[in-house]
Amino acid sequence: MNTRRNFLQKLTGTLIALPLLSKDGFANMEKHIRDSFYDGPVLRVAIMGLGSYGSRVAEAIQSCTKVKLVGVISGTPAKITAWQTKYNIPGKNCYNYENFDAIKDNPDIDAVYIITPNALHKDQAIRVAKAGKHVICEKPMALNAKEGKAMIDTCKKANVKLLVGYRMHFEPKTLEVIRMRKEGEMGKVLFFQGLCGFRIGDPTQWRLNKALAGGGSMMDIGIYAVNGSRYMIGEEPVWVTAQETKTDAEKFKEGVDETIQFQLGFPSGAVASCLSTYMMNGLDRFYLNAEKGFAEMQPSTGYGPIKGKTNKGELMQEHKTHQTVQMDEMAAIILEGKQPVVPIDGEEGLRDLKIIDAIYAAVKSGKKIDLLH
Ligand code: NDP
């Protein structure tokens, strides 16, 4: 943990530059002033896996108040060098996949954000926890519920936090719909529809490799509909049915799902009907129907801005970079014990994995799967 105590010096520097600022400059200055007055704890994070999403998260962290990117773990030396230069990362905070257990002796890193292919999450998370560092892990948290449970148990034993990268749990329009539903402004929820998909390109990428991805579209994008159905309806499902369609068996090999439709039943009687696919472009829509109202969001889980309306009108909450908000909120959860509106912990990740396990089982057996027993 670290504090920022030199705010007066920083502020003086900012005020001198005031007359020279453009519009973007003003936005930066606003952040700079906020940071200058921020004297609380800062979460020092190392990113593991410097790929496409890792790069997005690193950029977003630059606008955080409570998070600082201080380290990297990567299998690609050239990326490490580039990130060191770009983000001013000292050599002592750089690791590879062979030597990162030594992070336990590094007092300058508080947490590791795992942003590698899905199949690597479990073992990497366990190693990070055993090194005594908090774990932030991308979705899907692991390949199945058994792996997820092992991660939770290890983190508990090591007394470190385990958080999953569910950025939508902090998205303002999503939170407004959840608030309306919780406060009864829509009445009893009856139905949720979650449509999540995109047309996947390069057939050689890890997302289409069962060993690295653990499945296909369901692990990658369908999980948003699984997770969304739970936070939009506000209950845990009790049964699952699912059907798979495959139009390209060459690209989507055995165990890699191209399109899955699934249905979830909830204790109140509400039902969800969802689609997960790697074959349709720009499919990103949530619809919630309730006795006295509705919510419609499209796009609903992309990087935003999220757009939508409810029975009360258009959702007008301000767009903020999801990963910046997520990281600042995660720092508050880890450092200050803040409770998020929608859980973000390992148990939350595990709930989704149990449902995904059941979806795959339902596809295989063609039967309705009971989630209670
Ligand atoms: P990328 O392929 O772009 O990056 C993954 C990185 O992991 C690689 O660049 C590499 O980094 C590292 N890596 C380690 N071992 C392997 C391996 N065997 N094969 C490939 N890469 C390896 O993937 P993404 O960044 O898109 O996805 C990473 C994770 O983030 C996934 O779990 C995904 O589901 C999640 N994600 C979450 C999103 C969200 O919105 N929450 C959005 C996108 C992805 P290096 O060279 O540094 O070792």
* Gap between the Cα atoms of 171 and 228, Å rounded: 12
Residue whose CB lies within 8 A of the most ligand 1 atoms, among 99, 116, 127, for a mutation test: 116
CA 241 – CA 239 distance, rounded (Å): 7
Strand partners, 295: 288, 310
pLDDT at site 37? 82
Catalytic residue of the set 113, 166, 224, 360: 224
Report the C-alpha gap between 288 and 299 in whole angstroms. 14
Task: For ligand 1, atom 25, name the residue with the nearest CA.
Answer: 53
- What ranges make up the beta strands (E) of the chain? 2-3, 41-48, 67-73, 94-95, 111-114, 134-137, 162-164, 189-197, 239-245, 259-265, 271-277, 283-290, 294-297, 308-310, 313-314, 369-370
Ligand 1 atom 31, closest CA: 117
End-to-end CA distance of the chain: 43
Q: Which atom of ligand 1 is nearest to the CA of 73?
A: 47
**Pocket, ligand 1, Cβ cutoff 6 A:** 49-54, 74-76, 79, 115-118, 120, 138-139, 165, 167, 206, 212, 220
- The confidence score (pLDDT) of residue 27 equals 56
**118 Cα: distance to centroid of ligand 1 (angstroms):** 8
> Ligand 1 centroid vs 189 CA: distance in angstroms?
36
Among residues 149, 157, 159, 148, which one has the least CA distance to residue 223?
Answer: 148
Q: Residue 183: its pLDDT value, please? A: 97
How many whole angstroms separate alpha carbon 355 and alpha carbon 229? 11
Distance 39 CA to ligand 1 centre (A): 33
Residue with tokens 């790069």: 55
Residue 318 φ/ψ, nearest 5 degrees: -65, 140
Rounded CA separation 267/176 (Å): 23
Nearest CA to ligand 1 atom 17: 117
* Known catalytic residue at 139: yes
Q: Which structural domains are found in the chain, ordered by start?
A: 40-164 (3.40.50.720), 168-321+342-370 (3.30.360.10)
The whole-number pLDDT of residue 2 equals: 47
d(CA 57, CA 323): 6
CA distance 356 to 245: 16
Enumerate residue ranges in the chain where pLDDT < 70. Answer: 1-34
For residue 330, give Cα distances in angstroms to 164, 214, 247, 323.
Answer: 10, 26, 40, 10
Closest residue to atom 10 of ligand 1, CA basis? 49
Closest CA to 164 of 177, 175, 173, 155: 155
CA distances, 290 to each of 104, 171, 232, 234, 317 (Å): 50, 21, 11, 12, 22
- pLDDT at position 17 is 56
Distance 219 CA to ligand 1 centre (A): 13
- pTM recorded for the entire structure: 0.94
For ligand 1, pick from 47, 53, 59 the residue to mutate: most ligand atoms within 8 Å of CB: 53
Pairing mode of beta strands 308-310, 162-164:
unpaired
For the CA of 120, the closest atom of ligand 1 is 15
Q: Ligand 1 centroid vs 108 CA: distance in angstroms?
A: 24
Q: Which atom of ligand 1 is nearest to the CA of 53?
A: 25
Q: Rounded distance, CA 249 to CA 259, Å?
A: 12
pLDDT of the residue at 31? 65
Give me the pLDDT at residue 39, please.
87
Q: Report CA(55)–ligand 1 centroid distance (Å).
A: 10
Q: Which two tokens stand for residue 108?
A: 């300058």
Q: Whose CA is nearest to atom 38 of ligand 1?
A: 53
Q: Indicate which residue's Cα is closest to atom 2 of ligand 1.
A: 51
State the sign of the Cα–Cα–Cα–Cα dihedral 267, 340, 283, 181: positive
